[in-house]
Amino acid sequence: MDVIIDFISLVLKLAVPLTLAALAGTLSERSGVINIGLEGTMLMGAFFAAVGAGLSGNPWVGVLFALLIGVMMGLLHAFFCLTLHGHQVVIGVAVNLFATGITPLLTRLVWNREGASDTLPSIAAVSVPLLKDIPVIGKLFTNQPPFVFITLFIFIVLFIFMKRTKYGLRLRMIGDHPTGAQTQGINVKKYKYFAVMVSGSIAALGGAYLSIAHSNVFVLNMVAGRGFMGMAANIFGGWTIGGSALASLFFAAVQSTRYYLIGSPIPDQFVLMIPYVATLIILTAFSRNSRSPEGLGKI
Amino acid sequence: MSIKKFFRRFSFDSLASSLISLLLSFVIGGLLIWAIGTNPFQAYYLIGVGAVGTMKNLANTLASSIPLIFAGLAVAVSSKAGLLNLGVEGQLYMGAMAATLCGLYLPATNRFILLIAIMIASMLGGMLWALIPGVLKAKFGTHEVIVAIMLNYVAELFTTYLIIVPFREHGSTVNQTAEIPKAARLSKLFPRTQLTTAFILAVIVAIIVWFLLRRTTLGFKISAVGGNRDAARAGGINPTAYVIIAMLISGAIASFAGTTEVVGKYFRFRENFSPGFGFTGLAVAVLARNNPFGVIATSILFGGLSTGCLYMSRITGISGHMSNVIQSIIILLVSAPRLFEIIKGSRKRT
């Protein structure tokens, strides 16, 4: 039983950045904006969380920094895509390139070296009172990073927003038929801006988890494709909040096999390949049935 | 086709908007340099010296533009078919690996035949890796952007495995293959620099791409598919087939971005030798608006930017990654068509 609980616990930890990236992807793409830039936004989030935590000594200040930079990256993406009518994938690639260029530049400025930051104060794991005393599954609520619960909270909020509020309904309509929404008197651009900016802050939060919760140091390019995998999870999940979250959990479960294969005769590189290959196979097997928002990528 | 006709075809507005966006990018880059506490004029001066200050620097600038030309051409060809090839990075690794193995294990009796074999192996490697997103897109409708990006990671890890386990150089502490024989290396155009005949090859490939896209039925059909897939189908062109053909050509060209680094610069396959040529290639193609000759010019500019930034970083302490930052600003500004309209519009109004 303990083995299973440990496995679930590990999967939850690995799922945090993927889920946040996937939810960010869903929110943005349901509004009709392709956001390849999530990868770079996560990197910026990881970096600025490290700066905030390092300078103030309080990791929660880092989280705040990450949220702010996430909103700004979202604003940048939205401005170039929606106001200046740039090609959304190209703009996303530029956002990623910007992030991979500016983070080593600033790392050198802040910590006087390029590869990584100093050791940072990180967010301590928490135990949930009462729930932690439940036999067996209580272990899931003991010594968990608070990000697990934050992610759960964001998931619930987004789920209710999309399914149960008129704003969510409008956002979904905008993603499918922007002109139709416009004739209804909905300010399409405002909704899209809102979605992309919130999406940015959620992705940056995922980055912050990597630098100040999952570890206690910012390392160059530490996001390592998690933003892209989140986007893949969003597609696998059929562009829905619930689907994205489930797909992320599944991807995290695949990733966790890495920890069980340490010391096995399989070469490291092949073990490291597992999440990428799994993403490929899953996308190929399931993308026939999934339907993207009709207005995706259109201005 | 005369030169005159070529220039007439080349819209002045698009050239002007590219140049203005470029200038604006340098201004924003300068503001960034200023914000982190360095004199931007000094920084740009040093970038200029590093890029074209001496004959040697100029030769190295041209040398560093070589992989960018190939990567840029690869992206340009795929864009013509309406598909964005974000898998150039993986394709160049696979191509370079195939080329390296050819160089290491084929008999080096005839230099000419050996080099041809290396080039063919390289193209096959790149085409194989480009075929996967093309076929998956055609058969299963899989999102080609994500597939290509995932394949980049797989290619990087797979080639790393190959140079660590089966093909590692004996006794080496670094992850790399043994050196390829002299016969498999390209000759230098300029002594004691990294400028090799690969630059000439790059220019030739650019001319071929231009000819292919503008002067052949194949190129016309590719452009038709990229322009309007349904109209192309109505006109009797099978869009799927031409998308895959464009991806194959793109992958073959992409592979040269890696192979010329192996046979012209390192003479072996080194772990992670590409600093993201694939994504820079996208930037190059966007700035050149998919024009093959524009790709050459843009690549030289970007090549100069990276050699110049490296030089600057040695003197000022700003990271050499500054070149990535300026490049990303260039893509942002160039790929935003409205920006130029707004600038033009405001000029009319005043």
The pLDDT tens digits for A24-83 are 999 999 999 998 899 999 999 999 999 999 999 899 999 999 999 999 999 999 999 999
In this structure, the dihedral spanned by the alpha carbons of residues B104, B106, B110 and B115, taken in order and rounded to 10 degrees, is -60
| C-alpha to C-alpha distance for B113 and B118, rounded to whole angstroms | 9
Q: Which of A91, A109, A114 lies at the smallest CB-CB distance from B335? A: A91
Q: Of the spans A3-12, A97-106, B161-170, which averages the highest pLDDT? A: A97-106
Q: Which of A80, A225, A280 lies at the smallest CB-CB distance from B336? A: A80
CB B262 within 8 A of CB B103: yes
Angle at A250 between CA A22 and CA B132, to 5 degrees: 75
Examine residue A295 and state whether it is found in any structural domain, yes or no.
no
Residue A130 φ/ψ region, left for φ over 0, alpha for ψ in the -120 to 50 degree band, beta for the rest: left
CB A233 within 8 A of CB B150: no
Q: Of the spans A196-205, A263-272, B19-28, B80-89, which averages the highest pLDDT? A: A196-205
Examine residue A299 and state whether it is found in any structural domain, yes or no.
no
Tell me the three state secondary structure of residue B336: coil
Task: Provide the pLDDT confidence category of residue A206 given band limits of 50, 70 and 90.
Answer: very high
Among residues 227-286 of chain A, which lie with CB inside 8 Å of chain B?
228, 231-232, 235, 267-270, 272-273, 276-277, 279-280, 283-284
Can you give the pLDDT at residue A123? Answer: 85
Chain A contact present for B136, CB below 8 A: yes
Amino acid identity, residue A157? Answer: V
Q: At what angle do helices B144-164 and B88-105 cross, to 10 degrees?
A: 30
Examine residue B77 and state whether it is found in any structural domain, yes or no.
yes
Among residues 144-173 of chain A, which lie with CB inside 8 Å of chain B?
none
Residue contact A98–B328, C-beta within 8 A: yes
Residue contact B319–A276, C-beta within 8 A: no
Residues in B closer than 8 angstroms to A91, CB to CB, are 331-332, 335-336
Quote the mean pLDDT of chain A. 88
- CATH number of the structural domain spanning residue A62: 1.10.3470
Among residues 80-99 of chain B, which lie with CB inside 8 Å of chain A?
84, 86
Can you give the pLDDT at residue B350? Answer: 39
Residues in B closer than 8 angstroms to A100, CB to CB, are 276, 321, 324
Q: Structurally, how many domains does chain A consist of? A: 1
Examine residue B165 and state whether it is found in any structural domain, yes or no.
yes
pLDDT at B204 over 50: yes
pLDDT at B3 over 70: no
Examine residue B108 and state whether it is found in any structural domain, yes or no.
yes
Q: Which of B140, B286, B332 lies at the smallest CB-CB distance from A287? A: B140
Residue with tokens 């797989």: B154
| C-alpha to C-alpha distance for B318 and B322, rounded to whole angstroms | 7
Q: State pLDDT tens for residues B97-139.
A: 999 998 888 887 788 888 889 999 999 999 999 999 888 887 7
> What is the number of alpha carbons within 13 Å of residue A94 lying toward its C-beta?
30
Q: Structurally, how many domains does chain B consist of? A: 1
Examine residue A293 and state whether it is found in any structural domain, yes or no.
no
Examine residue B231 and state whether it is found in any structural domain, yes or no.
yes
Examine residue B235 and state whether it is found in any structural domain, yes or no.
yes
Domain extent at residue B59 = 53-279
For the segment B286-311, the average pLDDT, to the nearest whole number, is: 90
Q: Which of A90, A104, A268 lies at the smallest CB-CB distance from B331? A: A90
For the segment A222-249, the average pLDDT, to the nearest whole number, is: 89
Angle at B28 between CA B24 and CA B30, to 5 degrees: 115
Residues in B closer than 8 angstroms to A36, CB to CB, are 145
| C-alpha to C-alpha distance for B93 and B158, rounded to whole angstroms | 9
Residue contact A85–B143, C-beta within 8 A: no
Examine residue B228 and state whether it is found in any structural domain, yes or no.
yes
User: How many Å lie between the alpha carbon of A91 and the closest alpha carbon of chain B?
Assistant: 6
Can you give the pLDDT at residue B347? Answer: 53
| C-alpha to C-alpha distance for A180 and A187, rounded to whole angstroms | 11
Question: CB under 8 Å to A235, separation ≥6 — which residues?
Answer: A283, A287, A290, A292, B143, B146
Tokens of A31: 């509004």
CB B82 within 8 A of CB B308: no
Task: Provide the pLDDT confidence category of residue B1 given band limits of 50, 70 and 90.
Answer: very low
Q: What are phi and psi of B188, to 5 degrees?
A: -80, 145
Q: Which of A169-173, B123-127, B316-320 has the lowest mean pLDDT?
A: B316-320
Quote the mean pLDDT of chain B. 85
Closest C-alpha among B78, B63, B60, B59 to residue B253: B78
Task: Provide the pLDDT confidence category of residue A299 given band limits of 50, 70 and 90.
Answer: low
User: How many Å lie between the alpha carbon of A3 and the closest alpha carbon of chain B?
Assistant: 30
Residues in A closer than 8 angstroms to B157, CB to CB, are 269-270, 272-273, 276
Question: In chain A, whose CA is at the least distance from the CA of B323?
Answer: A101
Tokens of A76: 């940048």
User: How many Å lie between the alpha carbon of A132 and the closest alpha carbon of chain B?
Assistant: 39
CB B282 within 8 A of CB A93: yes
Examine residue A191 and state whether it is found in any structural domain, yes or no.
yes
Chain A contact present for B25, CB below 8 A: no
Chain A contact present for B335, CB below 8 A: yes
For a pLDDT cut of 90, what percent of chain A falls above it?
48
Question: CB under 8 Å to A178, separation ≥6 — which residues?
Answer: A32, A188, A295, A298
Residue contact A86–B336, C-beta within 8 A: yes
For a pLDDT cut of 70, what percent of chain B falls above it?
93
pLDDT at B171 over 80: no
Testing the interface with A: which of B38, B147, B316, B325 to mutate, by most A Cβ within 10 A?
B325
Domain extent at residue A169 = 2-286
